[in-house]
């Protein structure tokens, strides 16, 4: 049968969060007032998700519209950025990846909507449920509870790579295909439904395929026959492959915690790392000097290259236990675990020296970069990450006031 670690949210909640995650990501990275994801339904655009200020406030202002197409070239919708009418060249790659994620999400939602409708129709009668279409991407199972047997449709077997004549109906065999970490939850959920503590059985879990790989599936079922004492006799359900949806959710989770341009953790993720560290560590705030001059003289695309160049150098100086993040603009932060203030200052000096001998080379030009750094240790009485961040930020301000390209500790 099928399983998962915890009771999953309803499919509609998952779909909404998937789309809102995309729009929040777009709004944050492009710095726009609002980001909209429009889906074409029956040839007409319909708002699927939005983030930021209400769309109606900005619809007459500047906006950047990017069409979204399915793999077969059919239009799926649009990603609309309100508040800007053009993007910098360095932002195009992020836009393309977001559009690809949006296309995958919209197509997955279409497939899932079609499957929901199909299952709803099939559930109107037990007979129709048993006649599910084999190539629909959904398989059907029919469990004989008294005899501990379960019968699968050809479509169900095909999901796992089996031929129609393969797999035994032995219930014990079915449990060997459930991922060991998910098995207890699957069995507990089935028992809860058998005892009528929940109205239906529904789980998401991993299942072993014929080739030895695991797929994520969503399995739904319901007891359709009980004896006079209420004991279950027969249970019918469906299984849907949700591997692609799980991959998309994982991608969105990564994008939600990583700064796309530098591939370093973003501010939110970095703050979570500091919050989990209570002492025996140092926090460094770093700011690229005269960064506005780089943008003004060579353009924003070169400015993006400078940020990536610095992030690569910074990342190369870190130990496995350290964490660096882009806090915003040209500002970065570093958490050095198991380090005192003196050693943290030594790290900062080494970083400045490495940056000095590794200038950015672009278009045959040498673009020198320097960085000002403020240092503070984490203290037991801080009560949170903000205190240490505030001290290192004040030290950074003094470093810039005293001439830049300096290290100051507080």
What value does the mean pLDDT of the chain take? 83
Q: Is 401 helix (H, G, I), strand (E, B) or coil?
A: helix
For 111-127, what is the mean pLDDT?
A: 68
Which residue has tokens 């020198």? 368
What domains are defined for the chain? 11-109 (3.30.450.40), 119-246 (3.30.450.20), 258-409 (3.30.70.270)
What percent of the chain has pLDDT above 90? 37
- 282-301 residues labelled b (16+ CB within 10 A) or e (exposed): bbbbbbbbebeebbeebeee
How far is residue 345 from each of residues 86, 281, 334, 409, measured CA to CA in Å?
41, 12, 12, 7
Q: How far apart are CA 153 and CA 135, in angstroms?
A: 11
User: What local confidence, expressed as pLDDT, does residue 91 receive?
Assistant: 80
pLDDT digits (tens, 9 = 90+) for 173-205: 999 999 999 999 999 999 999 999 999 999 999
Phi, psi of 345 (to 5 degrees): -65, -40
The whole-number average pLDDT for the span 210-234 is: 93
Looking at the chain, how many residues does it have?
Answer: 410
Give the pLDDT of residue 7. 40
What is the average pLDDT across 132-136? 48
pLDDT tier, 298 (very low <50, low <70, confident <90, very high otherwise) = confident
- Positive or negative, the CA dihedral 111, 114, 120, 122 is negative
Question: 181, 230, 229: which is closest to 206 by C-alpha?
Answer: 181
Looking at per-residue confidence, does 83 or 301 come out higher?
Answer: 301
Q: Please tell me the predicted confidence (pLDDT) of residue 11.
A: 40
Residue 381 pLDDT > 90: no
| CA gap 136, 116 in Å, rounded | 12
Q: In the predicted model, is pLDDT for residue 317 greater than 60?
A: yes
Give phi and psi for 171, each to the nearest 5: -60, -35
Residue 127's pLDDT is 52
pLDDT at 60 over 70: no
Strands (E), 60-160: 63-69, 75-82, 138-144, 149-152
pLDDT at residue 14, as a whole number: 44
Work out the pLDDT band at 10, boundaries 50, 70, 90: very low
What local confidence, expressed as pLDDT, does residue 124 receive?
61
The CA-atom distances, in angstroms, between 178 and each of 20, 166, 212 are 32, 17, 12
């Amino acid at each position: 049968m099928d399983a998962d670690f915890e009771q999953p949210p309803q499919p509609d909640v998952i779909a909404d969060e998937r789309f809102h995650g995309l729009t929040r990501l777009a709004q944050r990275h492009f710095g726009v007032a609002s980001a909209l994801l429009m889906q074409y339904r029956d040839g007409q655009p319909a708002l699927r998700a939005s983030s930021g200020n209400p769309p109606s406030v900005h619809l007459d202002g500047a906006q950047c519209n990017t069409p979204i197409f399915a793999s077969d070239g059919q239009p799926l919708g649009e990603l609309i950025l309100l508040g800007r009418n053009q993007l910098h060249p360095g932002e195009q790659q992020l836009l393309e990846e977001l559009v690809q994620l949006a296309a995958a999400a919209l197509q997955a939602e279409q497939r899932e909507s079609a499957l929901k409708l199909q299952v709803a129709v099939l559930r109107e009668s037990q007979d129709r449920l048993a006649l599910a279409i084999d190539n629909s991407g959904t398989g059907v199972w029919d469990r004989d509870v008294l005899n501990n047997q379960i019968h699968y449709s050809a479509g169900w077997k095909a999901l796992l790579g089996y031929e129609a004549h393969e797999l035994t109906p032995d219930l014990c065999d079915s449990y060997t295909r459930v991922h060991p970490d998910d098995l207890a939850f699957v069995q507990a959920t089935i028992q809860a439904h058998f005892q009528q503590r929940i109205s239906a059985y529904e789980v998401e879990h991993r299942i072993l395929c014929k080739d030895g790989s695991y797929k994520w599936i969503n399995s739904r079922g319901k007891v359709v026959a009980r004896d006079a004492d209420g004991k279950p006799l027969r249970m019918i359900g469906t299984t849907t492959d949700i591997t692609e949806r799980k991959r998309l959710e994982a991608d969105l989770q990564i994008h939600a915690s990583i700064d796309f341009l530098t591939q370093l953790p973003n501010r939110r993720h970095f703050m979570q790392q500091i919050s989990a560290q209570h002492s025996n560590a140092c926090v460094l705030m770093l700011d690229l000097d005269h960064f506005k001059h780089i943008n003004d003289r060579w353009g924003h695309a070169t400015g993006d290259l400078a940020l990536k160049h610095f992030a690569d150098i910074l990342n190369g100086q870190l130990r496995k236990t350290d964490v660096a993040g882009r806090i915003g603009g040209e500002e970065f932060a570093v958490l050095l675990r198991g380090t005192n203030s003196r050693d943290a200052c030594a790290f900062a000096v080494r970083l400045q020296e490495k940056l000095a001998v590794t200038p950015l080379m672009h278009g045959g030009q040498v673009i020198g970069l320097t960085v000002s750094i403020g240092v503070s240790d984490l203290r037991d009485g801080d009560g949170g990450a903000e205190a240490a961040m505030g001290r290192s930020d004040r030290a950074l301000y003094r470093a810039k006031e005293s001439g830049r390209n300096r290290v100051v500790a507080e």
